[in-house]
């Protein structure tokens, strides 16, 4: 089914967007974030439905998401489809009338090709990541032809890896005639457990004897326990009676003391605290009362020392304050009066000067009286403005006339002959037309320069990938290592690393086990040292060695030797006794020590193996480095060397590409230099600022000179026409100037008539500008006279107002002086009198304020004294009530009564503590204990006169019972262990369990091994059958496509049979050269090889009737521009060959125009997003 149009009705960032597709190859280019990814998902959603949790709902809600398309079915009919989001069948066919019908099952089958979404994406979709993965898999599989063709046809990757993984899974379970598989290990374990089961047998006679011995030791152990319990009971009873006797005596003494204190009144727990608080408060109040009395006496003395008051001054305080406030502006008013008088004098002088300037000999008042009215002034201003406007217009016309006469062209400038100029124009035009194509080559040079910069950048990038300039120079001469040698080195290193890791893991396991054994041994030794069998054997060995030496020596050994032998003998016996007392711990400790020794031995062996392996690995590295140095290669690890050699191949390709671009640039420069030489000859003297070898600039100068000559011809014609027009304009301007002169004379006469009406005999000059200046000066002088007169009148009013301030102040001072019986001030003495009045008022206020303050403090002192006296009486009354509660006569006896109550409380607490101690010491009550003490018999061991001796005797008896119990327990433990060794022998059970486990392992692992082997065989057989069936057609089609994509750099694809059973590999033969494997190709070339194989597989699918469009996303990222255009051309040829449809998405917008020019509109449909 072919796709004609896609309608992005509401999907992703698109709303009602139509995208057209061509019948063959369609190229859709757009920048990032243009919606290419959303459109790719839309193509898949159109076929298989919009996903339930689609992420393309960031503009449209899920419920509104919809897609449409116009397609051609298998009969060539055009159908319009609509796909909505939902759970029901969402695909429908839009009818011509706008209605819709559900799509049929056959239509959906045509739309999906019978494939699922994942299968469709594998077979008919290819993006950059999967293209790169396909190229890498070609490299990883080393071009194995079967895997390459099968992966390209199915759209999957890593089939060789899958085969290897299946083989490893099978070998991890079973290896025929091997020993490492899990099934091999289980079979070996099954044989071992079968032998152990036959060896495990039971001995009945020995078990019966051991059973009888165990019963006897158990009975002896029970008797020893009973004896020990009786001794322990007697000792505890004696110790209990010894402990409770002092407690009973303490109880008797305490009860007698409480009886003596029983006549006291009930104790008051809060009385001591209250007493202390009240007595403290009493002392504080007495101290405060004395202080207040002293303060009151001191305040009385200060009041008597104050002077008598002045009530008159205080009564007039408000008037004095107002007078003082008003006096602050007196000096300012006087200063203002003086300044205003000086300003008045200055204004009088200015008025006189203005009057003389306006009319000499006339007075100010006379001129002001004869001032013209407002109507005359308005007519005067209008006449002045009219004269000024006419003068300005006349000046403008005169300026225009002078400018026009100055711009007039002289006849001599128009007499230049045009014949020589026309000859120059014709010769220069012919030279420019002939050399322009040669100079146009410079445009191609820019493209070559960009290409050279790109090639140089590629060269630098490959040099950086190699490791710098030094490595890049080495890469030009270095001899690469074979891939087989690198693989062999990798395998050797991986095997060594695996063995080292296994040794390290085993050492870690041993260390972990040793730490566990050591911790268990430390836990055993934490309860005390215990001798082991090794310790006893060592002690006996030393003892026996000394005995043999004494036996072989003199008949009478020395005293030191006898003492030493006795010590060794005693030491060995003590160890044996300790071993028998704690046999279980000793046996466990012995086993732990032997296990630790075995672990240490195993670790030492593993350390030696690891050191030997490390030395072997260092030797291999040394040989590898020497081999690389001999080949001129850098000292790198095998995998790093493989990557470096790939970078080396790309670097050599970049060097060759840069050399070809340099040769093209040199040829272009030679042609352009020849054109520049001819241009220099044509121009003659070189223009300033132009390089002699800059052909483009020289051609520009030649064309500029040609243009200048042509403009000169045009300018001469324009000047002749302009001369005639200028003569006409001069005549018109002369007529307009005469009219303006007449209008100016009329305005001058009107202004003179107005001045004559004023009667001052002013005569205006003939010149209009001078007349305007005189009229304006007379008008401005009259305005100044009027302004100065108004300012003088305002100044007189302000002076009178300032003088009123001082007069008012004199009157108010006289009234206040009369009230105070003081003489009234006059003249300049007013300010000093007011200041003295304010000072005396301040002194009177200060005396009265101090008197009020002292009286207030004395009143407060009286109030505090009365309050303290009342509080003191209340405290004393409370102390009296405390005495009544305690039953004493005075507060001084209260501490004695508190001490008696404390003695009574301590006796009660002592009685309670003694009772608790008595209950803790014995389970019997007090009466029972007294009865037991009274019934103690002197003849009884526990009732002896000396309790200490009785305790010692009972402790010895208990120790003897403990020793007998330990001996019985040791004997019982030995008998029980001997019986358990036979009765609990689980070797047969363990062997049976091991047998069943081994069989279960075999049963569980064999199905997995069988499935892995079967899957491996089926996959390998499928690949082989596909290779036999499709290798010829696919390889031929892929060879044609690959040659087209590489521009013929590779002529064809071919296969090379491997050695022995090795599979055949895919190779590409260069043009006129040797064949190379995929490992020698660049990354981009491998990607294009994988794309050619996918397109060849696509042709096979379409030949079987599966006609679905192929969608390619960013498959041109590893191709340069030239290779990208060739890939598009190969895609177009593939569409033409099988009639299929291919849709290519890319973000390389610059490829659109070159692709259109290269392929044409018939072969390529280009869309810019």
pLDDT in tens, 649-679: 888 888 888 888 888 778 777 777 777 777 7
Cα of 625 vs its chain's centroid, Å? 43
> How far is residue 829 CA from its own chain's centroid?
87
Q: How far apart are CA 848 and CA 846, in angstroms?
A: 6
Tokens 């069948």 found at? 89
Return the C-alpha torsion angle 565, 571, 574, 579, nearest 10: -120
What Å distances lie between residue 722 and 248, 716, 717, 731, CA to CA?
A: 153, 10, 9, 15
Stretch among 3-7, 27-31, 607-611, 846-850 having the lowest mean pLDDT: 846-850
CA-to-CA dists, residue 811 to 264, 815, 816, 848, angstroms = 95, 7, 9, 30
Residue 924 CA, distance from chain mean position? 76
- 701 CB neighbour count, 10 Å cutoff: 19
Identify the helix (H) or strand (E) that includes residue 59.
none
User: Average pLDDT, stretch 161-187?
Assistant: 75
The token duo for 522 is: 């430390």
* Per-residue pLDDT reduced to its tens digit, 1082-1113: 888 888 888 888 888 778 777 777 788 989 98
Looking at residue 412, its pLDDT comes to: 47
What is the residue-wise DSSP string for 993-1005?
A: HHHHHHHHHHHHH
Report CA dihedral (971, 975, 976, 979) to the nearest 10 degrees.
180
Q: Is the pLDDT of residue 155 over 80?
A: no
Name the residue among 176, 127, 179, 193 with its Cα closest to residue 155.
127
Strand pairing partners for 7? 18, 68
What are the φ/ψ torsions at residue 1050 (nearest 5 degrees)? -115, 125
- pLDDT value at 144 more than 60: no
Tell me the per-residue pLDDT of 460-482, one tens digit each, with 9 for 90 and over.
888 887 788 878 787 777 777 77
CA geometry: angle at 465 spanning 459 and 469, to 5°? Answer: 65
In this prediction, residue 936 carries a pLDDT of: 62
Tell me the pTM.
0.35
Cα 1131 to Cα 1115: distance, rounded to the nearest angstrom? 12
Alpha helices in 359-440 (DSSP H): 364-369, 374-407, 419-439
Q: Strand, helix or coil at 1090?
A: helix
**Whether the predicted pLDDT of 372 surpasses 80:** no
**pLDDT higher than 70, residue 365:** no
Separation CA 1057–CA 146 (nearest Å): 12
Annotate 152-187 with b (16+ C-beta within 10 A) or e (fewer).
bbebebbbbeebeebeebbbbbbeeeeeebbbbbbb
Q: What is the pLDDT of residue 1143?
A: 93
Output 927 or 7, whichever has higher pLDDT: 7
Lowest-pLDDT choice from 36-50, 322-336, 639-653, 966-980 = 322-336
> For all residues of the chain together, what is the average pLDDT?
77
Q: What is the pLDDT of residues 1034-1059, one digit of tens each?
A: 777 888 888 888 888 888 888 776 55
Give the mean pLDDT of 1131-1153: 86
Residues 6+ apart with CB under 8 A from 655: 459, 476
Best CA proximity match to 90, nearest among 59, 52, 56, 58 = 52
Residue, of 743 and 983, whose pLDDT is higher:
743
Q: Determine the average pLDDT of the residues in 879-883.
A: 85
Higher-pLDDT residue of 688, 129: 129
Confidence of residue 417 (pLDDT cuts 50, 70, 90): low
Q: What is the pLDDT of residue 202?
A: 44
Instruction: Assess whether pLDDT exceeds 80 at residue 748.
Output: no
pLDDT of residue 69: 93
Residue 429 tokens, joined: 């035009």
Angle at 1008 between CA 1004 and CA 1012, to 5 degrees: 165
| Interstrand relation of 125-127 and 1110-1113 (parallel, antiparallel or unpaired) | parallel
| Residue 789 token pair | 């007169």
91-94 and 100-102 as β-strands: parallel, antiparallel, unpaired? Answer: antiparallel
- CA separation for the pair 100, 716 (Å, rounded): 78
Q: Do the beta carbons of residue 1126 and residue 1048 sit within 8 Å?
A: no
| Higher-scoring residue by pLDDT: 195, 877 | 877
SS (H, E, C) 949-994: HHHHHHHHHHHHHHHHHHHHHHHHHHHHHHHHHHHCCCHHHHHHHH
359 contacts: CB under 8 Å, gap ≥ 6: 367, 760
Neighbours of 722 (CB within 10 A): 14
Element at 829 (helix H, strand E): none
Q: Which two tokens stand for residue 433?
A: 């037309």
Residue 1144's pLDDT is: 92
Helix, strand or coil, per DSSP, at residue 126: strand
Q: Region 987-1006: what's the mean pLDDT?
A: 71
Does residue 1110 sit in helix, strand or coil? strand
- C-alpha to C-alpha distances, 385 to 12, 210, 761, nearest whole angstrom: 76, 155, 22
Please state whether 510 falls in left (phi above 0), alpha (psi between -120 and 50) or beta: alpha
The CA distance from 1139 to 944, in Å, is 127
Q: What is the mean pLDDT of residues 517-531?
A: 77
| Contact call for residues 462 and 472 (beta carbons, < 8 A) | yes
Which of left, alpha, beta for 733 (phi over 0: left; psi -120 to 50: alpha)?
alpha
Pairing of strands 1110-1113, 1142-1146: parallel
Residue pair 1084/1078 in contact by the 8 Å Cβ criterion: no
Buried b (16+ CB within 10 A) or exposed e, 330-346: beebbebbeebeeeeee
Q: Which residues are registered as beta bridge partners of 1168?
A: 29
Report which of 404, 250, 429, 198 is spatially closest to residue 991, judged by C-alpha positions.
198
Instruction: Please report the pLDDT score of residue 353 as a whole number.
Output: 74
Rounded distance between C-alpha atoms, residue 307 and residue 312, angstroms: 15
Tokens of 922: 């014995």
DSSP string, 427-453: HHHHHHHHHHHHHTHHHHHHHHHHHHH
Overall average pLDDT of the 587-599 stretch: 78
- Measure the N-to-C terminal CA separation of the chain; round to a whole number of Å: 24
Tokens at 803, concatenated: 């003088």
Is 1111 in contact with 43 (CB distance < 8 Å)? yes
């Amino acid at each position: 089914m072919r796709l004609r149009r896609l309608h992005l009705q509401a999907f992703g960032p698109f709303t009602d967007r139509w995208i057209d597709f061509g019948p063959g190859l369609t190229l859709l280019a757009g920048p990032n974030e243009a919606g290419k990814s959303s459109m790719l998902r839309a193509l898949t959603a159109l076929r298989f439905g919009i996903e339930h949790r689609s992420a393309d709902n960031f503009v449209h809600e899920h419920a509104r998401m919809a897609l449409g398309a116009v397609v051609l079915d298998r009969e060539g009919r055009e159908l319009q489809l609509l796909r909505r989001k939902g759970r029901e069948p969402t695909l429908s066919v839009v009818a011509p009338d706008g209605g819709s019908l559900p799509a049929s099952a056959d239509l959906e089958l045509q739309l999906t090709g019978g494939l699922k979404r994942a299968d469709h994406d594998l077979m008919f979709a290819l993006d950059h990541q999967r293209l790169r993965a396909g190229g890498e898999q070609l490299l990883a599989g080393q071009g194995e032809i079967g895997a390459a063709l099968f992966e390209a046809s199915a759209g999957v990757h890593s089939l060789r890896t899958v085969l290897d993984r299946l083989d490893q899974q099978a070998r991890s379970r079973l290896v025929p005639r091997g020993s490492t598989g899990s099934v091999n290990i289980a079979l070996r374990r099954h044989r071992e457990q079968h032998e152990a089961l036959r060896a495990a047998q039971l001995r009945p006679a020995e078990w019966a004897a051991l059973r009888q011995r165990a019963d006897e030791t158990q009975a002896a152990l029970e008797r020893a326990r009973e004896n020990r319990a009786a001794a322990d009971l007697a000792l505890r009873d004696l110790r209990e009676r010894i402990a409770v006797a002092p407690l009973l005596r303490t109880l008797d003494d305490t009860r007698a003391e409480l009886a003596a204190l029983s006549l006291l009144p009930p104790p008051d727990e809060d009385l001591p605290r209250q007493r202390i608080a009240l007595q403290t408060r009493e002392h504080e109040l007495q101290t405060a009362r004395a202080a207040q009395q002293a303060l009151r006496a001191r305040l009385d003395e200060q009041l008597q020392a104050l002077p008598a008051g002045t009530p008159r001054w205080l009564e007039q305080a408000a008037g004095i304050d107002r007078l003082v406030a008003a006096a602050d502006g007196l000096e300012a008013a006087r200063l203002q009066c003086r300044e205003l008088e000086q300003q008045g004098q200055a204004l009088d002088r200015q008025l006189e000067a203005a009057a003389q300037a306006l009319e000499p000999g006339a007075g100010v008042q006379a001129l002001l009286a004869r001032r013209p009215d407002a109507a005359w002034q308005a007519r005067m201003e209008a006449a002045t403005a009219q004269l000024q406007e006419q003068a300005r217009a006349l000046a403008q016309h005169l300026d225009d006339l002078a400018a026009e006469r100055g711009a007039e062209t002289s006849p001599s400038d128009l007499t230049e002959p045009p014949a020589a100029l026309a000859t120059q124009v014709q010769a220069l035009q012919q030279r420019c037309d002939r050399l322009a194509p040669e100079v146009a080559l410079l445009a191609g040079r820019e493209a070559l320069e960009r290409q050279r910069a790109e090639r140089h950048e590629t060269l630098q990038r490959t040099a950086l990938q190699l490791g710098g300039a030094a490595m890049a120079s080495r890469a030009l001469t270095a001899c690469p290592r074979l891939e087989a040698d690198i693989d062999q080195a990798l395998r050797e290193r991986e095997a060594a690393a695996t063995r080292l890791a296994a040794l390290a893991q085993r050492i870690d396991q041993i260390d972990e086990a040793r730490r566990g054994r050591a911790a268990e041994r430390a836990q055993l030794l934490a309860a005390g040292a215990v001798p082991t069998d090794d310790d006893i054997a060592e002690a006996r060995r030393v003892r026996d060695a000394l005995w043999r030496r004494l036996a072989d020596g003199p008949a009478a050994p020395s005293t030191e030797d006898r003492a030493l032998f006795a010590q060794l003998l005693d030491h060995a016996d003590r160890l044996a006794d300790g071993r028998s007392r704690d046999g279980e711990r000793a046996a466990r400790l012995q086993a732990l020590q032997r296990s630790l020794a075995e672990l240490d031995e195993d670790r030492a062996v593993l350390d030696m193996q690891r050191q030997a392996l490390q030395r072997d690995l260092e030797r291999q590295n040394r040989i590898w480095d020497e081999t690389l140095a001999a080949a001129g290669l850098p000292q790198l690890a095998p995998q790093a060397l493989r990557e470096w050699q790939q970078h080396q191949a790309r670097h050599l390709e970049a060097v060759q590409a840069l050399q070809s671009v340099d040769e093209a640039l040199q040829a272009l420069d030679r042609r352009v230099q020849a054109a520049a030489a001819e241009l220099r000859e044509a121009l003659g003297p070189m223009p300033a600022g132009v390089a002699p070898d800059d052909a483009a600039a020289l051609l520009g100068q030649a064309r500029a000179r040609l243009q200048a000559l042509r403009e000169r011809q045009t300018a001469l014609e324009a000047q002749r026409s302009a001369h005639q027009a200028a003569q006409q304009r001069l005549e018109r301007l002369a007529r307009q100037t005469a009219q303006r002169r007449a209008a100016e004379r009329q305005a001058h006469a009107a202004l003179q008539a107005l001045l004559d009406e004023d009667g001052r005999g002013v005569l205006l000059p003939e010149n209009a500008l001078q007349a305007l200046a005189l009229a304006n000066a007379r008008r401005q002088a009259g305005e100044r006279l009027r302004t100065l007169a108004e300012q003088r009148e305002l100044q007189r009013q302000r002076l009178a107002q300032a003088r009123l301030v001082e007069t008012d102040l004199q009157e108010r001072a006289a009234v206040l002086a009369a009230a105070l019986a003081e003489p009234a001030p006059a003249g300049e003495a007013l300010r000093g009198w007011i200041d003295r009045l304010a000072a005396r008022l301040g002194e009177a206020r200060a005396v009265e304020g101090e008197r009020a303050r002292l009286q207030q403090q004395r009143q407060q002192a009286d109030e505090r004294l009365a309050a303290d006296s009342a509080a003191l009486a209340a405290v004393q009354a409370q102390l009296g009530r405390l005495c009544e509660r305690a039953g004493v006569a005075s507060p001084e006896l209260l501490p004695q009564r508190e001490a008696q109550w404390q003695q009574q409380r301590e006796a009660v607490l002592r009685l309670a503590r003694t009772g608790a101690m008595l209950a803790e010491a014995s389970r019997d009550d007090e009466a029972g204990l007294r009865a037991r003490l009274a019934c103690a018999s002197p003849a009884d061991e526990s009732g002896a006169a000396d309790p200490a001796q009785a305790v010692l005797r009972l402790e010895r008896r208990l120790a003897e019972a403990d020793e007998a119990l330990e001996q019985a327990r040791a004997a019982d433990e030995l008998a029980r262990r001997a019986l358990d060794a036979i009765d609990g022998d689980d070797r047969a059970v363990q062997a049976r369990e091991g047998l069943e486990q081994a069989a279960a392992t075999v049963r569980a692992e064999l199905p997995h091994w069988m499935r892995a082997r079967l899957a491996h065989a089926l996959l390998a057989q499928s690949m082989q059958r596909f290779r036999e069936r499709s290798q010829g057609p696919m390889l031929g089609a892929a060879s044609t496509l690959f040659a087209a994509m590489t521009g013929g750099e590779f002529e064809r694809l071919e296969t090379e049979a491997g050695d022995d059973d090795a599979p055949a590999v895919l190779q590409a033969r260069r043009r006129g050269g040797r064949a190379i494997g995929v490992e020698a190709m660049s990354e981009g070339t491998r990607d294009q090889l994988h794309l050619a194989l996918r397109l060849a597989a696509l042709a096979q699918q379409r030949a079987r009737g599966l006609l679905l469009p192929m969608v390619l996303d960013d498959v041109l990222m590893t191709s340069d521009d030239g290779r990208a255009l060739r890939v598009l051309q190969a895609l177009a040829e593939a569409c033409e060959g099988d009639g299929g449809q291919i849709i290519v998405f890319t973000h390389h917008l610059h490829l659109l125009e070159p692709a259109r020019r290269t392929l044409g509109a018939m072969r390529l449909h280009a869309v810019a997003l």
